[in-house]
């Protein structure tokens, strides 16, 4: 029933996975498109579980391997140009931009490269790139180990949006034999909550779907909220699927802890003060004959949740308070 309703509103269910990351579903890329973009799309196509930032990191690592540059300056330029090409795939995909920036910062730190020959420096860059890519791939498992401890036997967890890292935490808790239940917000208009519910049902976790507008109603039955993030910003706030902010407000009002699970490659050098400070991303939403054409429709895909509404962040760097994020960002980018 929900699926047909989404079709009626002009959102096709196949867009679900792509909507989580802000990119079109991986498609065959024309030969004339940059090689790094082809590698990026191929990495996404190889695994439906691949995070966009990790696919970008994998593609950038291949740029170093395949480079014909003869100087460090030339190689760094190739890397920067490749990162720019990837970001043009979707200029508003914050996690993609953050992943590219962190990769460039990590691989091209000059302190240990200055005395090397070019061949040795390139070899070290490849090693750094591969290490960064492998570390990024392992991030989700590391977060699952940490976050699972916060899910207690008999607890009720509310989740909003389809987050792979949140799923990893819940799967780890279920595998540990913990009995718990999950309330999933519906996640209109792109069906992310229904996707999440199907995954949880396959894990045999008792799951209930609630309308997005019913969050306040069910919050008194919730023991903890668990969400993912598209980006963690400098003040410890998060940017995530639209509706996360109102979930956080309801959780705070009911003294329910709000936990955010996010990989460190999603730490972004952004400092939004309000919703208008975020990179704009709005998706088309067509209500067809249900509304007169003169009625405007506003359909932002994400919102900003300030740090005061977040209890803890589960990351591959450890469990962080929102206040600790700025220190971690400095260490990542310096």
pLDDT of residue 319: 95
pLDDT of residue 275: 86
Query: Which of 37-41, 88-92, 251-255 is the most confident on average?
Result: 251-255
Percent of the chain with pLDDT over 90: 41
Burial class (CB in 10 A: 0-12, 13-18, 19+), 178: middle
Secondary structure (DSSP) of 212-256: GGGHHHHGGG-SEEEE--SEE-TTS-EEEETTHHHHHHHHHHTT-
| Residue among 269, 267, 270 at smallest CA distance from 317 | 267
Distance CA 108, CA 113 (A): 8
Indicate whether 20 pLDDT > 50.
Answer: no
pLDDT tens digits for range 155-173: 999 999 999 999 999 999 9
Percent of the chain with pLDDT over 70: 84
CATH class of 144-333: alpha beta
Indicate whether 86 pLDDT > 50.
Answer: yes
pLDDT of residue 256: 98
Q: What value does the mean pLDDT of the chain take? A: 82
Which of residues 289 and 86 earns the better pLDDT score? Answer: 86
pLDDT tens digits for range 91-134: 668 888 888 888 888 777 654 555 567 788 788 878 877 887 78
Give the pLDDT mean for 256-271: 92
Give the pLDDT mean for 220-245: 95
CATH topology of domain 2-139: 1.20.120
Indicate whether 32 pLDDT > 50.
Answer: no
* CATH 1.20.120.420, the chain: domain bounds: 2-139
The pTM (predicted TM-score) of the whole model is 0.78
**Hey, how many other C-beta atoms are within 10 angstroms of the C-beta on 112?**
10
| Residue among 79, 80, 81, 69 at smallest CA distance from 118 | 69
Give the pLDDT mean for 36-47: 84
Give the pLDDT mean for 64-89: 85
Task: Report residue 95 as tokens.
Answer: 């996690």
Distance CA 258, CA 24 (A): 30
* CATH 3.40.50.10470, the chain: domain bounds: 144-333
């Amino acid at each position: 029933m929900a699926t047909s309703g989404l079709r009626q509103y002009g959102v096709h269910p196949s867009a679900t996975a792509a909507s989580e990351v802000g990119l079109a579903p991986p498609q065959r890329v024309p030969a004339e498109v940059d090689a790094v973009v082809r590698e990026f799309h191929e990495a996404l196509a190889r695994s439906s579980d691949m995070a966009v930032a990790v696919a970008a990191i994998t593609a950038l690592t291949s740029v170093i391997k395949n480079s014909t540059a003869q100087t460090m300056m030339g190689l760094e330029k190739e890397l920067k140009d490749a990162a720019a090409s990837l970001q043009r795939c979707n200029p508003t995909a914050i996690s993609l931009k953050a992943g590219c920036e962190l990769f460039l910062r990590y691989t091209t730190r000059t302190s240990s490269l200055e005395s090397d020959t070019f061949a040795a420096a390139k070899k070290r860059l490849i090693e750094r790139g591969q290490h960064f890519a492998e570390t990024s791939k392992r991030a989700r498992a590391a977060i699952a180990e940490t976050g699972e401890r916060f899910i207690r036997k008999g607890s009720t967890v509310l989740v909003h949006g389809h987050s792979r890292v949140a799923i990893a935490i819940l799967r780890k808790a279920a595998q540990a034999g913990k009995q718990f239940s999950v309330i999933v917000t519906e996640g209109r208009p792109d069906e992310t909550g229904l996707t999440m519910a199907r995954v949880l049902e396959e894990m045999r976790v008792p799951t209930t779907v609630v309308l997005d507008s019913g969050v306040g109603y069910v919050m008194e039955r919730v023991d903890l909220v668990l969400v993912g993030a598209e980006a963690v910003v400098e003040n410890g706030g998060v940017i995530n699927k639209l509706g996360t902010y109102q979930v956080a407000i309801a959780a705070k009002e009911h003294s329910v802890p709000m936990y955010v699970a996010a990989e460190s490659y999603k730490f972004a050098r952004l400092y939004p003060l309000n919703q208008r400070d975020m990179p704009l991303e709005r998706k088309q939403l067509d209500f067809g004959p249900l509304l007169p054409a003169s009625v405007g429709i506003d359909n932002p895909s994400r919102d900003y949740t300030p740090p005061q509404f977040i209890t803890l962040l589960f990351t591959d760097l450890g469990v962080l308070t929102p206040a600790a994020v700025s220190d971690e960002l400095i260490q990542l980018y310096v």
